[in-house]
């Protein structure tokens, strides 16, 4: 007897479904692949938005900015190994 794997379901409105179908036909990719790509794209967008907020907070906090500059200076000295940087 074959066992079936339960797949999660997500409800979407009819307009989104039609758009997804059209994109699938046009691209040749499955609707599942397109949804996966869209969710990953949105996740990355949110990550960069959060990073921008955090960076803005650092820039507006003199103590945090000074700490970042100190850490940067430390890392800059670690590459002082005497080797010539190669251009790729």
For 38-56, the pLDDT digits (tens) are: 999 999 999 999 999 999 9
> 46 lies in a domain?
yes
> 1 lies in a domain?
no
> 62 lies in a domain?
yes
pLDDT for res 2: 57
DSSP labels, the chain: -PPPPPPP-----HHHHHHHHHHHHHH---HHHHHHHHHHHHHHHHHHHHHHHHHHHHHT-HHHHHHHHHHHHHHHHHT-SSPPPPP-
Low-confidence ranges of the chain (pLDDT < 50): none
Quote the domain boundaries for residue 69: 14-78
pTM for the model: 0.68
- The number of domains in the chain is 1
> 33 lies in a domain?
yes
> 4 lies in a domain?
no
How is residue 36 written in tokens? 């996966």
> 2 lies in a domain?
no
């Amino acid at each position: 007897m074959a066992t079936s794997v339960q797949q999660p379901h997500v409800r979407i409105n009819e307009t989104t479904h039609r758009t997804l179908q059209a994109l699938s036909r046009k691209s040749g990719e499955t609707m599942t692949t397109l949804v996966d790509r869209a969710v990953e794209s949105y996740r990355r967008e949110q990550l960069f938005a959060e990073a921008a907020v955090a960076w803005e907070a650092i820039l507006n906090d003199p103590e945090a900015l000074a700490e970042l500059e100190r850490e940067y200076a430390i890392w800059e000295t670690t590459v002082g190994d005497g080797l010539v940087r190669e251009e790729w």
